[in-house]
Amino acid sequence: MSQKELGNIVDRLVAGAAMDRNGWLRLLSLQGEEERQYVQQRAMEVAQQNFGNGVFVRGLIEISSYCRNNCNYCGIRCGNRSALRYRLTKEQILECCRAGAGLGFNTFVLQGGEDVVQSDDWVTDVVCAIKREFPDKAVTLSVGERSAAAYRAFRAAGADRYLLRHETRSDEHYSLLHPRTMSAVNRRNCLFTLKELGFQTGSGMMIGSPHQTLEHLADDMMFLDELCPQMIGVGPFIPASGTPFEDFSAGSVDLTILVVSLLRLRFPHALLPATTALASLHSRGRELAILAGANVVMPNLSPSDVRNKYSIYNNKKSTGDESAQQIESLRQSLDAIGYRINFSRGDYDDK
Ligand code: 5AD
């Protein structure tokens, strides 16, 4: 497409116009270095208008590597006999929160596999305990598909946000990535329920997952338009040993960056993380995502002895660093690109 045409399309996106499937497909197909640079630059400008040079931080606590599901891409699928398993206790989670609070974090993200031992009641109790001790901090849950009643209980206990990637909008593609026990329809229903209950809701997809086409990604963009999530996480697919997809190649860093930019242009106020998957594939992945419009980083607050056990894909970036050191090195790498950590809660705000 000509530079003029691309400029017009981006102008329309920035002005808030919706894009049809074919429009997304054309944008996702941009190959030229110059075109991609242009999109990224415009996305970075939109992020700067809305968030200045601040990047929000969330303290990530990986609460369990047990999972009842058997997703074909995921290293902690129940069928992976070589996966290392652990689950944190409520007291361990509270300790992580205390350490995080001491470092200035105002948001905690509890993420884990769908561990049947960490039941709905257990999760509810943990949320209550965190909120009792830290009433002003935001609690984000990412513990998979649960019943509407469970989500309601989490919300009543004080959980503020929920992350659940839709993974792919296409029912057919979804069924190639997941076991028959799971369905795209149920996943989407969960997301709409979470939104209805008033959670700031996060969705998203992997880039370059096996059998994915650009048409699928265009459908993902259309779906996100319909859901209008407050947070959108996208990262490249990375093969995980011991899974049916262990021999597939990883998704493209460049395409991931392009998608981050397109998301920023379409969802100017959304919270878009520079994901660990991107940082795991590329030494400057985090910085590249921020320069393409991402505005969130999620440092790992899990106890250091379990960090290498939450192995959802190979070579997941994880430092044995103390959390304080992680923050210091994040501060330095952001400083080098002209950004700084914003420690505030970072609630979604579209005013
Ligand atoms: N590569 C990249 N991302 C993955 N996820 C799970 N397995 C992989 C993998 N092999 C992502 C999924 C999930 C999130 C927690 O991590 O999108 O929703």
Q: Which pLDDT score, from 0 to 100, does residue 324 have? A: 79
Q: How confident is the model at residue 217 (pLDDT cuts 50, 70, 90)?
A: very high
Q: Which pLDDT score, from 0 to 100, does residue 49 have? A: 97
Which residue, judged by its Cα, is nearest atom 16 of ligand 1?
Answer: 312
pLDDT average, residue stretch 281-296: 97
* Cα distance between residue 69 and residue 84, in whole Å: 15
Which residue, judged by its Cα, is nearest atom 6 of ligand 1?
Answer: 74
Share of the chain above pLDDT 70, in %: 99
Q: Name the residue with tokens 């948001």.
A: 107
Residue 103 forms beta bridges with which residues?
Answer: none
Q: Which pLDDT score, from 0 to 100, does residue 21 have? A: 97
pLDDT average, residue stretch 69-79: 98
pLDDT average, residue stretch 32-60: 97
228 Rama class: left (phi>0) / alpha (psi -120 to 50) / beta: left
* Cα distance between residue 39 and residue 19, in whole Å: 15
Q: Which pLDDT score, from 0 to 100, does residue 275 have? A: 95
HSE value, Cβ hemisphere, 13 Å, CA-based, for 55: 31
Long-range contacts at 331-335 (CB < 8 A, ≥ 24 apart): 333/286, 333/287, 334/55, 334/287, 334/290
Q: Which residues line ligand 1 (CB under 6 A)?
A: 73-74, 165, 167, 206, 235, 237-238, 240, 277, 312-313
Angstrom CA distances, 124 to 129, 147, 154, 288, 301, stand at 9, 13, 5, 37, 20
The model's pLDDT over 75-105, given as tens digits with 9 standing for 90+, comes to: 999 999 999 999 999 999 999 999 999 999 9
Q: Are the beta carbons of 143 and 118 closer than 8 angstroms?
A: yes
Atom of ligand 1 nearest to the CA of 205: 17
CA-based end-to-end distance of the chain: 34
Q: How many angstroms does the Cα of residue 260 sit away from the middle of ligand 1?
A: 16
Atom of ligand 1 nearest to the CA of 314: 10
Q: How many angstroms does the Cα of residue 64 sit away from the middle of ligand 1?
A: 15
Q: Domain extents for the chain?
A: 54-342
* Cα distance between residue 244 and residue 10, in whole Å: 39
Cβ of 270: how many Cβ atoms within 10 Å? 23
Q: Which pLDDT score, from 0 to 100, does residue 175 have? A: 98
Ligand 1 binding pocket mutation candidate from 63, 207, 211, 312 (most atoms within 8 A of CB): 312
Q: How many angstroms does the Cα of residue 351 sit away from the middle of ligand 1?
A: 32
Overall CATH class of domain 54-342:
alpha beta
The model's pLDDT over 127-177, given as tens digits with 9 standing for 90+, comes to: 999 999 999 999 999 999 999 999 999 999 999 999 999 999 999 999 999
* Cα distance between residue 43 and residue 219, in whole Å: 21
Q: Which pLDDT score, from 0 to 100, does residue 325 have? A: 85
Atom of ligand 1 nearest to the CA of 164: 18
Atom of ligand 1 nearest to the CA of 74: 7
